[in-house]
Amino acid sequence: MSGTSPYRQLPSVDRLLGHSLLDPLVEQVGHDKAVHLARALLDEARAAIRRGEAPPAFDDLARVLADRLRAAARPSLRPVINATGVIIHTNLGRAPLSDAARAAVDAVSRGYSNLEYDLEAGRRGSRYVHAVTLLRDITGAEDALVVNNNAGAVFLILRALALGREVIISRGQLVEIGGGFRIPDILAESGAILHEVGTTNRTHLRDYERALGEQTALILRVHQSNFRQVGFVTQPSLADLVALAHAHGLPLVDDLGSGTFLDTRPFGLAYEPRVQDSLAAGADLVSFSGDKLLGGPQAGIIVGKAEYVERLRRHPLARALRVDKMTLSALEATLSAYRRGTATVGIPVWRMIAASVDSLRERAIGWADRLREAGVEASVEESVSAVGGGSLPGETLPTWAVVVRPSSAARLAAALRVWEPPIIARVEDDAVWLDPRTVLPEQDDALVEGIVRCVVG
């Protein structure tokens, strides 16, 4: 056999795919995909032989192919463990849904639903009725409308109420939100005409008053939810803007960005305007997100005066921005927790915000003890968590974190990211920090196992 070509020692595609390691994996990815990956692997082996390397063993080839098949079988979008301490992490899907919201999605997605069917009348209904009663009860608004996200909500408002006319806004509120989207761009694309008033740091009520004219459609206030101005700054109160708008027969629209129903101050955070506060101040329409401080699914929620909400509901663009049955079911379940007064217990975002420092320290100590027992050096140290998601900029919450100091924190963090399930941690001072505030309790075992495997092997 000494004269046998090394290439002939490589198995055929069919023989390789027949290895016992690969049976369930081939079925998971499909035969055609498995053949493609097997051929690619054998091509790599032939290239290695041409470079003078020995042909790989049959079992080694099967193990490599098994890893590639597993990777191919994984969905592109999959769960991760968020150990960063950032509660509303935009890159990690923002707010995790409550048990009730997930159950509601499961229930309506399993079969048919009354999404657009009036059960009492026995005829076609409207998807726009769902969640409206809950939003009215919680906020006191006359009416409500749910669209796909808050940028869509603002776009619809401007398109429906200000097409070809001027929208007055303070220069200090021309914010950029995530992904490079800017309020001026949304205004321009909506067909409304931007009329900036004031300066970056100071805008007075008289600036708005001087800008009013026959072409004015509305006054827009945009809450600075993802940054904060300090120092020599001023903005008119919402109540003053409402009075000015109404004195000239114009609507006042308040874009809150994140939006909250709960007072943030009892949790040691700065005041964040509540949706109810804006409505109480007289805002005609208030828009906000569903998947930030609200703690529900991605959605843009508009509440306010019935006459304006109805105009939005009837606008053709509303159909392009409408939400599906799963979003509406998750939103209704989330809103129900607010109406019952159980948000801080039932909604993960608020449960994380409300978590006591002592409980976080206890969980961190438990993780560290288990890691040390498995041979991983770990300490428990004081740290801070952030709300994130363009909410409460600069505000933090005290926490305790588990700190692992390997030879290379970057390498460990990278290994954790490709573990299954992926673990996303913070790297600071060449150490890996893991904050229990944002790790769901049912993920504790998976987190500890992942760290041990990535450190010890």
| Contact indicator for 241, 273 with CB cutoff of 8 Å | no
* Tens-digit pLDDT profile for residues 357-414: 999 999 999 999 999 999 999 999 999 999 987 777 778 999 999 999 999 999 999 9
65/85 same-domain check: no
Q: What is the pTM of this model?
A: 0.90
**The total number of structural domains that make up the chain:** 3
d(CA 284, CA 307): 9
pLDDT mean across residues, the chain: 93
Q: Is residue 116 part of a domain?
A: yes
d(CA 167, CA 189): 13
Q: Is residue 1 part of a domain?
A: no
Q: Is residue 256 part of a domain?
A: yes
pLDDT of residue 179: 61
User: 3-class secondary structure for 65-129?
Assistant: HHHHHHHHHCCCCCCCEECCCEEECHHHCCCCCCHHHHHHHHHHHCCCCCCCEECCCCEECCHHH
134/249 same-domain check: yes
| Rounded-to-10 torsion of CA 447, 451, 456, 457 | 70
Candidate from 11-20, 72-81, 197-206, 220-229 with smallest mean pLDDT: 220-229
Integer angstrom CA distances of residue 57 from 20, 48, 52, 297, 442: 15, 13, 15, 49, 41
Q: Is residue 276 part of a domain?
A: yes
Q: Is residue 366 part of a domain?
A: yes
Helix, strand, or coil (residue 217): strand
pLDDT of residue 181: 67
pLDDT(281) > 90: yes
| % of residues, the chain, pLDDT over 70 | 96
233 band by pLDDT with thresholds 50, 70 and 90: confident
* Long-range contacts at 270-277 (CB < 8 A, ≥ 24 apart): 270/392, 270/395, 272/225, 272/391, 272/392, 273/223, 273/238, 275/139, 275/303, 276/138, 276/139, 276/140
Question: Angle, to 10 degrees, between the axis of helix 150-162 and the axis of helix 183-190?
Answer: 40
Candidate from 55-69, 146-160, 198-212, 433-447 with smallest mean pLDDT: 198-212
Least Cα distance to 59 among 115, 110, 15 occurs for 15
**Domain extent for 329:** 99-342
Of 299, 324, 342, the residue that ends a domain is 342
Non-local CB neighbours of 273 within 8 Å, separated by 6+ positions: 223, 238, 256, 260
| Contact indicator for 133, 159 with CB cutoff of 8 Å | no
pLDDT of residue 394: 78
230/367 same-domain check: no
CATH code of the domain containing 369 = 3.90.1150.110
Least Cα distance to 440 among 63, 82, 191, 29 occurs for 82
Of 294, 322, 342, the residue that ends a domain is 342
Q: Is residue 228 part of a domain?
A: yes
**Tokens linked to 108:** 């309506």
**Tokens linked to 318:** 């509303």
CATH code of the domain containing 159 = 3.40.640.10
Helix, strand, or coil (residue 25): helix
* Tens-digit pLDDT profile for residues 318-370: 999 999 999 999 999 999 999 999 999 999 999 999 999 999 999 999 999 99
